[in-house]
Structure 1
Amino acid sequence: MSFGSARNALNQYSQNAVETAIESASPHRLIQMLMEGALGKIAAAKGFMERGEIRAKGEQVGSAISILEGLKTSLDHEKGGDIARNLEDLYVYMERRLIEANRENDPALLDEVSDLLREVKEAWDAIANHPAAQHTPAA
């Protein structure tokens, strides 16, 4: 088996594993997975930024912004009230900062967004054992 074939098989396996995890995840876990994905994309963007790989950096930043958009659309403003509004404002702020980081090639801005998102994720993770979190959509 050539390297290309092996890599293709590994990619297919990874994609299937992710799809299986998504299909079996609770709504709460799906939000955790989105946050983990965004943090991974931001970390990758920082690495590409540091190596001067502009196109790859932009793709990763764009993916992180798309994930933040997904997090915004998952908010339930009716049930979440002020928390949902505050999270939406924070996600919008993070998107703006990612755009600035990409435009200015500023890794400190990527770090700022990662730190903010990590704080939100830690709070989200802390409620993972709450019974309601396993069956209800995001705040």
Structure 2
Amino acid sequence: METVLAVWGAHVEVLDLGADRRVAARTELSRDELPQFVAAREREDPPRWVWTDTNQVSPQLLAAGVRVHRCLDLRLCRTILQHAFPDREWPEPHWPTAPVGDQPEPTLLDALTIEEDSPAPGGSAEEVLTEHLRQQET
């Protein structure tokens, strides 16, 4: 089973995919609930987690002592695919495309300026799923 995860601000959106890669279930939770949610899923029936960027999710999970068995980092996969298939058209993703080293480091004040309902920097769960399916077609 694959589980798509989209994180923005204090919100997390989770899409559980069926064998046909269609959305079988949708869950919304707070960012604070994420480590417990992932840990419970890993104990029950570990899915393959699909998210935009491991750097967006892993610090919180690791700080809580949560490990995942399998995950798919779409930013990393996209970079690999772009280099493997340089002649192919790659539509712009729904997340910032600056190289990791060129991204500004967040400060404590950034946490105060995140709006609860601002768009997800890595895209909504549907956008993350769309990019995942596009990459799987390659």
So what's the TM-score if we normalise by structure 1?
0.33
Structure in which a larger fraction of residues adopt helix:
1
Structure in which a larger fraction of residues adopt strand:
2
When Rg is computed on C-alpha atoms for both structures, the one with the higher figure is 1
So what's the TM-score if we normalise by structure 2?
0.33
